Amino acid sequence: MDVVQAADIAITSAGVLVVLGTAVRLGRGGRWRRLLRELPMRPGGPGWAELLAGLVLCVLLQNVGVLAAVGSASDWQQPGSAAWHAAQAGLQAGNLLAAGALGVLLARRPFAGESGPALRTGVTVAVLGVLALLPMLTVLYEGGRLLYEQLRPGQAAPLHAMLQALHTSAWGAAGRWQIAVGAVVVAPLLEELLFRGVLLGVLRRHVRSAGTAIVLAGVAFGLIHVAQPQDVAPLAVMGIVLGYVRVRWGALWPCVLIHMLFNARTITVALLVPEAVGAR
């Protein structure tokens, strides 16, 4: 475990260097003032009808998947129970179907002139993005956790159901694999298609400033995690960074890769060093 913690500290420290280097670069000549103003505003993209249809489809497919998998089980909301894992299987199936539908929708309503980065550039952006996010979100999360515990003395900040289930899984190793696949593959794919794809696309069409659209979509991303209040601010910041990557490089796949890598780090640490994320 010491090796894992040491590796995580080293990676986070590298992220601090990325943040500092970026800050110095943007500070030269006041480049930070033009950071959002220089983002391209392109015609096209999804509209409100596509957003509404996407949201309805996501909720419908998720609920159908869960109901089909759970049956008459009464403990399906208990993280780690066999019924909970069955519900997660149905939810993941619904999410994959919804992601496919959103992908088709976005392919039919693309932004004009977007070609996306080369593979090497996109991967580099993703790696640097994850490194930069780790120290920033760690500080914000710890601040949120301390604030929560100050406002509610004696109560620990609520833990995400997936992190709770990692060490109480009735399915054992199979359950842990299911949680990992859901967190590292399925959730990032659907959330990026919905938030950085459809929602941000709609806001870019109807808000004059690309920066404002990015911030609004990022805040919305943070607010859907309100069940863990200490996570809202960190994930809103993450959403803003991902939105910037989406608009700046004209492609969604680097955002998906950043999200996947970030969640993979969280799941790995939660499995090997559970006390580091509050999991037991």
**Distance (Å) of CA 40 to CA 36, 43, 135:** 9, 10, 28
Given a cut of 90, whether residue 127 has pLDDT beyond it is yes
Global pTM? Answer: 0.94
Task: Please give the residue that has the higher pLDDT: either 33 or 173.
Answer: 173
When pLDDT is averaged across residues 94-122 and rounded to a whole number, the result is 91
Given a cut of 70, whether residue 96 has pLDDT beyond it is yes
What confidence category does residue 239 fall into, taking pLDDT thresholds of 50, 70 and 90?
very high
CA distance 253 to 118: 11
Quick one: what percent of the chain has pLDDT higher than 90?
Answer: 69
In contact, 232 and 144? CB cutoff 8 Å: yes
Vertex 175 angle, CA 169 and 180, to 5°: 115
pLDDT at 277: 63
Helix (H) or strand (E) holding 156: none
Choose the most confident range, by mean pLDDT, from 37-46, 151-160, 184-193.
Answer: 184-193
Vertex 119 angle, CA 193 and 92, to 5°: 30
Task: Please give the residue that has the higher pLDDT: either 278 or 269.
Answer: 269
Given a cut of 60, whether residue 265 has pLDDT beyond it is yes
The dihedral built from the CA positions of residue 275, 262, 213 and 20, taken in this order, carries a sign that is positive
What confidence category does residue 278 fall into, taking pLDDT thresholds of 50, 70 and 90?
low
What confidence category does residue 279 fall into, taking pLDDT thresholds of 50, 70 and 90?
low
pLDDT digits (tens, 9 = 90+) for 21-79: 999 988 887 777 778 777 877 888 899 998 999 999 999 999 999 999 887 777 888 99
Helix (H, G, I), strand (E, B) or coil at 112: coil
Name the nearest CA neighbour of 246 among 206, 201, 211, 196.
Answer: 196
Given a cut of 70, whether residue 3 has pLDDT beyond it is yes
pLDDT at 63: 93
CA distance 181 to 75: 22
What confidence category does residue 4 fall into, taking pLDDT thresholds of 50, 70 and 90?
confident
CA distance 210 to 242: 13
Tell me what the pLDDT averaged over the chain comes to.
91
When pLDDT is averaged across residues 231-240 and rounded to a whole number, the result is 96
Given a cut of 80, whether residue 276 has pLDDT beyond it is no
Given a cut of 90, whether residue 135 has pLDDT beyond it is yes
pLDDT at 115: 83
